[in-house]
Structure 1
Amino acid sequence: MKKNEKKTEQNIMVIFLLFVMSCFVFSCKEDKVDSKSHDPSKAVEITDFSPKSGSARTRLFIYGKNFGDDISQIKVKIGGLEAKVIGSNGECIYCVVPQRAFDGTIEVLIGGENETPVTAEASEKFTYEKKSMVSTLCGTISETGEYTVTDGPFEKAGFKYTTWLSFDPQNPNHLYAVEDYAGIRLIDLEKREVSTVVTCGQMNIARPRTIAWSPDGNTMYVSNDQGSEDGISNVALKREENFLRAEVATRSRSCNGAAVHPVNGEIYYSQWEGGSIWRDELDGQPRKELFKIWANSYEIGIIFHPTGNYAYMLGHNFHAIVKSTYNWEKKQLEVPQPFVGEYGSPGWLDGVGTQARIDSPWQGVFVKNEEYVKQGKSDVYDFYFADRSTHSIRKITPEGMLVTVAGRGSEGLDSNVWGYVDGDLRKEARFNQPRGIAYDEKSATFYISDSENRRIRSITIEGETDAVKSDKEAEVKP
């Protein structure tokens, strides 16, 4: 990762030097361009920009007059969204197009924090091309790769090892992150800040593993991994108490994950010993062991389909995903059947069902596919999941077609498939052991806990992704 970051810094320096030279060559058709300060007595003018079109992260040059060379005084908005300003020589601004700048208007605002800015708007619009991208939301690491667990604004917040993400079902701006052996953090997307909600040792939580919610969204269940048979395996935190007090929900040893049925509300959780799945009505009655998945010493994550008709069980260390149908009459999950990947055969191979290969699938999320709705399919949800040891985000269709959506890019960088690179989903982006994943339907954005990179990454879906294209190609193949 350090090697990749060093190369990224070198690339940025090269780009900036090229920017300076390009401004001398192209700006305003003058023989010479001198770096100069903004003159507040004169108007700011935009005469041209280049290129005329592009996607998010396109490097844009804005030409004009009286910009000044102090980038702390310069703001650029594209499509109404603030763009990152890299440099200016007074008559040429170098900036980066932000995501979702659909409108394409270009504005330059010159002035300090407490000043009324002098503005100029280009007469022509930038043509924004939709493109899905991986970017970094938050997580600070030093140049030497050091990190500290720190609360605060996104620009300063630091993470240890996030493994699970969960949106508050009643507040789409609150994203909770589980940090292994550390606690639970709250990522506030509106305030753009991170805070610590629970630290290990508080509320009888020794090692938090997953977060699940009651059907009404008023109770948060945190699974707790500890070694006592009579120890606490799940705690319940109530919204009415601001999630500040925990009640014992279930007891067992070595709980690796839990899920609540989205309609009936009973809780299901896995136990490391025996690879077993347990059911609890949360009514004070004895828990019930439903079945075992293969053998002893297996970590299993459970994710329910939004309808409650079935659940996927992700074998973190047996490299397969199985499907368990829900029996509505008995109100319980049935013995699961193999679905994607093959038990004990880790690998990275897109394909169908047990012919495909995965490696340490961790958390997943169901996402509605509007094309399926138009086609009248009975199941209209795809399943996206973080495949930890292939360093990628992958998708499963209802029929069991597995496609890699993001990660393992930048082939020319080095011989690795892992690392820390933002950009195009498959051509550029890299992750390092992603585990958690959550999805905001309103903004069509995925959030990824990129564990070994100590960062929270995001995937903004704008256009037709390579994964969608792969699906279409697969449909016409015999």
Structure 2
Amino acid sequence: MAICYSCTEESAIKTGEVIAYDPSKPVEITDFTPKKGSASTRLYILGSNFGTDVSQISITIGGEKAKVVGSDGGSIYCIVPPRSSEGTIELTVSSGDNKTTVVADEKFQYEHKTVVSTLCGYVSPTGEYEVKDGPFDDCGFEGPQWFSFDPKNNRHLYLVEYYSNVRLIDLEKKEVSTVMTRGQGHWDRPRTITWTLGGDTMIIANEKGGEHTVANSIAYRRELFKKPYPLMYTNEKCTTSATHPVNGELYYNAFLTGDMYRYDWKTGLSEKLFTIQDREWEYNVVFHPTGNYAYIIVVNRNYILKTEYDWVNHRLKNPTLFCGEVGQSGWVDGTGNSARFNIPQQGTFVKNEEYAGREDEYDFYVADVFNHCIRKITPEGRVTTFAGRGSRSMNNDVWGFIDGDLREEARFHEPNGIIFDEVTRTFYIGDLKNHRIRMIAIE
């Protein structure tokens, strides 16, 4: 017997034909198709005496409840739920006091896949949220914007909130806490977090104008990163700081002038290296794990520069355009300056096992804010859309809050922060307008 979604929907949903479950007769499962698949797979169960009332039909796959979409009495259309790896298909049909449960002779072969899910951040069904500390199921965020792992503990994920505080996401205890406030640091807009090479000092960049304002603050492990101290001052605002992963030099920028500086920890002096093309536009710096180069993400001008590292003189060289087009926004996958972004924000390097033996084994993933998606950039500068903008059959929006398949289902709403945990192979996404922390991982 052949079955497809369209014929099932035609006979059981569109025509409205009613076929009742008969408690005096057995319920049988004779087959199901497909035999294997991942979460969200459309599964068709064939047999007899199912009835057409889906409120009377319950299905579990591997012990997880599946969504029943329709039935024509002899075939049921349902959706495979996540975490159904045990594979047993159990069907229950009930009417009043009568209930029949049957199990398919064959198990469904569940295939794990990479999906988007939600880690924490409570938002009510009507969109209300409260910024508060607490367990994952009862905490709230204003706007998660920038992530940084504790170099000595990958279960401690630090977060800079939009125009706000520094918070800790404890992945082991499953709770969120505030470690430093904007008032403590005399910050206007804390932007990024980086670390000294030993990992015992946190460095927080602060965007604030005016004479003698804090450009970067530091906080110490011995004080549990709870008390910030000024490291350097500026009147030109600072939107990014980054530490060279091998030599430990600190690089930071001046928003008003577009200048890039190198800070010498020994002398306490800063050296101006170069000026990017666009002044008074924010940018972020992310170093490649080898230290061979860094990407400069020019946020409000929608392009990414590449700056090579000079190993002889220990400094970054003048950057060149890597991908995107200066001042041109859009959503276009492509290579180099044919690609288009719309406010690219934080990025993270991820080692690609398929590149083993190449000169550069890392892809770069960046949160593309107003395109409401995550983009992937290869070492050659090829840009593709990795996750988001899904559920196209729902409406014409590309934003929203939907978990599931990376491209077919998932939606974000202005994702800003992104970081990758190499140990658990998990992306963490700061979904700003959804006020939540999302994850991308093999479920």
User: Secondary structure in 2 aligned to 1:150?
Assistant: coil
Q: Is residue 2:162 matched to residue 1:180?
A: yes
The answer to which of 196-205 and 420-429 deviates more is 196-205
User: Secondary structure in 2 aligned to 1:255?
Assistant: coil
Higher strand content, 1 or 2 = 2
- Shift of residue 247 of structure 1? 2.8
Contact 2:402 2:409 in 1 (8 A): yes
Match among 125, 140, 143 for residue 161 of structure 1 = 143
User: Secondary structure in 2 aligned to 1:146?
Assistant: coil
CA distance change for structure 1 residues 31 and 367 in 2, over 3 Å: closer, same or farther? farther
Please name the residue that 1:3 is paired with.
Answer: none
User: Secondary structure in 1 aligned to 2:239?
Assistant: strand
Q: Is residue 2:430 matched to residue 1:449?
A: yes
Matches within 5 A, 1:155-304: 155-253=137-235, 254-304=237-287
Q: Is residue 2:388 matched to residue 1:404?
A: no
Please name the residue that 1:434 is paired with.
Answer: 415
Q: Once the two structures are aligned, what percentage of the paired residues are identical?
A: 48
CA distance change for structure 1 residues 84 and 232 in 2, over 3 Å: closer, same or farther? farther
Read off the aligned partner of 1:171 and give its amino acid letter.
N
Please name the residue that 1:354 is paired with.
Answer: 337
In structure 2, runs of 5+ residues without a counterpart are 1-12, 14-18, 46-59, 69-77, 91-102
Q: Deviations over 1:216-271 (max 9, x none)?
A: 22221111121134221111112122112223222223111110111111111122
Contact 2:87 2:110 in 1 (8 A): no
Alpha-carbon distance in 2 for matches of 1:25, 1:291: 76
Contact 1:178 1:208 in 2 (8 A): yes
- Shift of residue 53 of structure 1? 3.7
CA distance change for structure 1 residues 126 and 399 in 2, over 3 Å: closer, same or farther? same
Match among 344, 350, 364 for residue 367 of structure 1 = 350
Read off the aligned partner of 1:393 and give its amino acid letter.
I
Contact 2:145 2:432 in 1 (8 A): yes
Higher helix content, 1 or 2 = 1
TM-score (norm 2): 0.80
Alpha-carbon distance in 2 for matches of 1:435, 1:421: 17
- Shift of residue 348 of structure 1? 0.8
Please name the residue that 2:292 is paired with.
Answer: 309
CA distance change for structure 1 residues 25 and 338 in 2, over 3 Å: closer, same or farther? farther
Match among 420, 436, 440 for residue 401 of structure 2 = 420
Read off the aligned partner of 2:174 and give its amino acid letter.
R
- Shift of residue 421 of structure 1? 1.5
- Shift of residue 84 of structure 1? 6.8
Aligned residues: CA RMSD: 3.5
User: Secondary structure in 2 aligned to 1:389?
Assistant: helix
CA distance change for structure 1 residues 335 and 31 in 2, over 3 Å: closer, same or farther? farther
- Shift of residue 204 of structure 1? 3.3
In structure 1, runs of 5+ residues without a counterpart are 1-17, 19-23, 34-46, 63-75, 88-93, 109-120, 463-478
Please name the residue that 1:44 is paired with.
Answer: none
Larger of the two Rg values belongs to structure: 2
Size of the aligned set, in residue pairs, is 398
Q: Deviations over 1:17-41 (max 9, x none)?
A: x9xxxxx988xx95489xxxxxxxx
- Shift of residue 179 of structure 1? 0.4
CA distance change for structure 1 residues 260 and 85 in 2, over 3 Å: closer, same or farther? same
Alpha-carbon distance in 1 for matches of 2:241, 2:227: 19
TM-score (norm 1): 0.75
Match among 98, 116, 122 for residue 82 of structure 2 = 98
Q: Deviations over 1:144-181 (max 9, x none)?
A: 21211021121111110111111112111111111012
